[in-house]
Amino acid sequence: TIAFWNGDYLPLDEIRVSPLDRGFLFADGLYEVAAAYQGRLFEPQAHIRRLQRGLAELRIDTGWSDADWLTLMEEMLRRSGLQGDQAVYIQVTRGASTSRGHAFPAGVKPTVFAMPSALKRPPESWRSGGVAAITTPDIRWSRCDLKTVGLLGSVLAQQKAVEQGVVDAIQLRDGLVTEGAATNVFVVRDGAIATPKADHRILPGITRAVVLEIAAEAGTPVAERDVAANELATADEVWITSTSKEVTAVTRIDGRPVGTGKPGPVWTAIDARFQQRIGR
Ligand code: PLP
């Protein structure tokens, strides 16, 4: 695999990271993952906007323009040698300093890393039967709107899901649904869609934004609002969304069926439009 490392294109296994890189020491950095379907990036500007906003919030100054990020993503696709659908991973850290200290070091240059991979799309069984999930307390910090590489809360949530043989862990904070381990959550009741509003408690997912757009186009009532934890039990449908999981119906939560226990009609309608948007 060819990867990007601070200006060079190198084989992934030749890249060496400094132990003083602040990404390593402090998780002082951000990442992005974008999909490309048959060579075409999906919503690249939205990913770039989210990255640039995060970098500005953390005061990491790369000097890179939106066009520079787009070029990087396209170069990754071009140089990957992969056929078919791909994912591009980008990571930016505050950089490698000369000593360890919490506050921003002076004169440090951000580390920019990117790598391509084959995009693993949701299996057919997820589309026909949906997936199972558990709920788990949201133990993360209070700036979940930033896509930081500090992912330990999500790591532990995802591991708990794996150990229970399910696909995702829906996180709950103060009696409300926040999001999955690496997904946004939607609920449907009586034909109306709801999803937690995009504040500091969740990552503003690009897939989430596309689903909100699609729902509005389709004329389906949709609200961004607080979603109570107990709405998961009374919903007709629950979905999770992300770049890699697309729009996936959750048909069991904590061992109990959601609605009929099958992907519902609102999911079917929204997913059909989503598949169209990604060129399927
Ligand atoms: N929420 C979290 C915590 C995530 O890590 C992700 C993606 O990795 C998402 C939501 C979904 O975001 P997107 O649709 O942009 O992939």
CATH class of the region 124-277: alpha beta
Domain over 2-118 is classified CATH 3.30.470.10: yes
**pLDDT bracket for residue 206 (50, 70, 90):** very high
Task: List, for residues 116-125, the tens digit of each pLDDT value.
Answer: 999 999 999 9
| Residue 98, token pair as written in the block | 């000369």
Please give the C-alpha separations between residue 159 and each of 22, 134, 162, 200, 247, in angstroms, as whole numbers. 25, 11, 5, 24, 21
Q: Please tell me if the CB atom of residue 182 comes closer than 6 angstroms to any atom of ligand 1.
A: yes
Domain ranges (residues) in the chain = 2-118, 124-277
Q: Please tell me if the CB atom of residue 243 comes closer than 6 angstroms to any atom of ligand 1.
A: yes
Pairing type for strands 192-195 and 184-189 reads antiparallel
Considering Cα of 51, then 56, then 62, then 64, what sign does the dihedral take?
A: positive
Q: What is the value of ipTM here, to two decimals? A: 0.99
Q: What is the mean pLDDT of the chain?
A: 98
Active-site annotation holder among 147, 160, 197, 245: 147
What is the rounded distance in angstroms from the CA atom of residue 52 to the CA atom of residue 59?
A: 10
**pLDDT bracket for residue 176 (50, 70, 90):** very high
Task: List, for residues 131-162, the tens digit of each pLDDT value.
Answer: 999 999 999 999 999 999 999 999 999 999 99
Q: Please tell me if the CB atom of residue 242 comes closer than 6 angstroms to any atom of ligand 1.
A: yes
pLDDT at 252: 98
Whether residue 160 lies in the annotated active site: no
pLDDT (mean) for 164-186: 98
